Structure 1
Amino acid sequence: QSIQASCQNVLNPVHQCTRPAYIVVRYKSKQQCQNSNQRLEVVLNEHKQLLTDACRSCDIDICRSIDLLMQIVQYLTRQLSSTFLNENQALKIIEIGTQLFYSLLLVYNDKYNEYMQPLSEQLNSLYDTLGEIFVKSDPRQPQIILEYIVFNRANISRLIPYFNPNSLIASEKFIDIYKKLSKMFTFVEYKPYLLQMFRKFNVNQWFENPSNSNRRVTFIDALFNHFRSLIENYALAAKRNNPPGYDELPLIEQTNQLYDVSIGHMIQILNYSYPSQIGFLFRYIIESIQIMRKKQKIIQQQQHKTILPLEF
């Protein structure tokens, strides 16, 4: 900042300045203060915008639609709890509620959360009610959820809590779902979902079911094929970097966690005493270890560096 001063010289009183005299004052923290003020102004503007959006009324058509949907869900829930329904009628109502849930998923957009808080709460309440009462009760839901994920449709994360493979505990479809999940491993974007979904399989409960006694070897085969696919893709996961702004766990860490889950399933199987199958099981373990060692030797030869062996 410049301040104009009078022209005086104590040594020479008759001295005359050739131009105006100024005193220049420099504030060391001035730039820092200006930067702080600018940041504060940006934050204040953001808060003002948030308050404006929060107080903004939603479109009247959206509000009416939500109200009608809530009435429909309440009606379906009352019908489902009726004691006069037979099994086929109950399944039909469950199917209608499930279809309504998936239809809402396809059209839902995060921008709806910008409207008044009660509307957002009503939407979440609709999803919770439809998911807990209808989707969980639908015997086809594990297969339908997998298809929804494979086609990479909207709002997949809202589906994961309702994935329940144990609803197929007395069916060979339990194994089929496990196999299909394993094939999805090669799709990088599915990793966070796969980890949550594999953890939902109750292998103990499946083995305890007498109706599965003839299918245990088939499940062991599916489990070790899954483990082999993890081994074969481990090198790819180790080399891959996460894209910028990627918030999920690094791919290599997700792969390690999938290893842990599959090993946990192996341990559950080994806790059972089935003499006719133990030899089969250990043969697969040995073959898997051999494949793993061969893969590591190839990687070492290609990269000329030491890679620590994977161990159970």
Structure 2
Amino acid sequence: MSPFCHQYIERATGSIRNERLFADPLVRFLYNEIRENAGWLFKALTSPQASHILGVLQYDLCFFSPHRIKALMRDLDVCLEECLNPEHFRTARAVFERKIRYWSCRPQPPAFPCVLAPSDSRMLPLNLSTHSLFPVKGKFFDLKTLVGESPWHERFAGGRAAVFRLTPDKYHYNHCPVSGEVLETFMVEGRCHACHPDAVVREVTPFSRNRRLVTLVDTDIPQGSGVGLVAMVEVVALMIGGIREAYSHKAYENPQALRPGMRIQAGCPKSLFYPGSSTVVLLFEPLRMDFEEDLVANSLRRDVQSRFCEGFGPGLVETDLRMGEVIGRPVALKPSLSAPVPLVP
């Protein structure tokens, strides 16, 4: 097996898969040679401005003939049958920002309260408790910084987190993981580090330093998901630099940015990452949500070669899943709520 291999578990089959890491030599060069020997250049290349320029050069300016578009879609293993209007794909950006018939080709929200995968991605379930068998403090993100130094972070201390890594070949819309009422939404400025496993390990806590959109949702309302306060943090990455807010209650109709007081429905489109790789982090309060058992069991596998495990330690094997799949449910026995918990930070 290659020492540079990165593997994950395919949820649908339980099989171990080798990931084809896009731009692997370039990312390794950037986060090793350039980072260590030319700090000024590394800082420039991971700025939002540089990511925007790189994105335009990569996805907009290159002319793509119909033959090249078909070759690109084959290379990315894009399913034409699930795409809306594939005949309109003229650039690489159009392929990456494709819309799909998610109402028929992705799992639909079940009748019971639960948490859904917000994207086609590779997921890590994390326990933020300091008493966890495999502590994650100081890895992937700093909790306080992740939500923009706001007091909200205190609500998630000792809770659960889920990290969803979107690779460049994935459908790039994010969907709502829960149903509830939006309490707050805000952008936190930052850099544009890559979400490549090597970059994450080298930078240790890149998700709390990248540019990111934070959305806080109260799910303890009628017809809500019933898992308490949830934070959805959408993290931009190298060659992305931006997120287009596009919440739609039906299909992709009348897209709009979320505002405090809006009700959102699990499974509906929420936003679009610009092309590249990117990450979504979900935060949950303590004792409010349990991950599905197969996801936790997968993360603990010792027969899978993960660069996250090599860099951070065991318990960090990803599971590949589709948007809309159930990842967690309200705990069977919730803590005493005889006195209402205030929702203001």
Please tell me the TM-score bracket, short chain as reference: under 0.3
Higher helix share: 1
**Structure with higher RCO (Cα < 8 A, 6+ apart):** 2
Higher strand share: 2
**TM-score normalised over the length of structure 2:** 0.22
Structure exhibiting the larger radius of gyration computed from Cα positions: 1
